[in-house]
Amino acid sequence: MEISTLATYHCLAFVWYFFVAYSITHVKTEERPSEVFLYGGQWKYLTVLNLVLQAVFYGVSFLADVLRLIKKLRCAKCIISSRDLLFSVLAFPVSTFVCISFWTLYTYNRELVYPKSLDGVIPLWLNHAMHTAVLPFALLEILALPHRYPAKKKGLILLGFVAFLYISWVLWIYSVTGEWVYPLFALFNPPGLAAFFAGSLAIIVAFYNFGEFLNRMIWGQSKFS
């Protein structure tokens, strides 16, 4: 794909994610169900954090494209390294996890992850923007250009560290409020919850490996932008 076309795509994707993140963080207070968006606001939900992550990623990608267009190749090289690290370790596996885990649990019992009371607050388009569109965007990014993956050990350590931070944030919210971020967590005793978190981490690691596999199958080992 031509650099100018990539720049346009990344700019539009950045604007889209910024708009979606803005939309969900500006839900009117008086319209919110009493059990939602209390301590920690929207920032306790992985879905919302992922929107911010995607906006940052596409912003960095757009900046890298612009630097390449104006021939600032030394600066572009550094930004491209950051872009590839963001995509490989976080943007792709988290988006894939958000989409697949949400719709799997929603199909099983929506009250565990997205109570029916939210239907009157969050429009259908916004629900799909947060939970559905993120996966096609991630796949399109892999098709659009190659990404350099870090050494496997480094990538998994970074991914595990971010997962640890989010789990710590979830546990901290529970310790303060006595309420779980997602009703699903209330179904488990402590060992069961630990096993659930470990299983979720294993799944997101599998998505990391899947992204690396797709990138290698499409672009090979040697071609990088």
Per-residue confidence (pLDDT) for residue 137, from 0 to 100 = 96
Contacts of 17 (CB under 8 A, 6+ apart): 51, 54, 55, 58
Residues 6+ apart with CB under 8 A from 80: 64, 148, 225
Specify the 3-state DSSP secondary structure of 33.
coil
pLDDT value, residue 37: 53
- Terminal CA-CA length for the chain: 10
Can you list the residues of the chain whose pLDDT is less than 70? 28-38, 221-225
Q: Map out the domains of the chain as residue ranges.
A: 1-23+39-217
Name 112's Cβ contacts closer than 8 Å, sequence gap at least 6: 105, 182, 183, 184, 187
Interatomic CA distance for residues 94 and 49, integer angstroms: 10
Q: Decide if 127 contacts 166 (C-beta within 8 A).
A: no
For 176-213, the pLDDT digits (tens) are: 888 899 989 999 999 999 999 999 999 999 999 999 99
> Within 10 A of 74 (CB to CB), how many other CB atoms are there?
8
Which pLDDT value is given to residue 223?
47
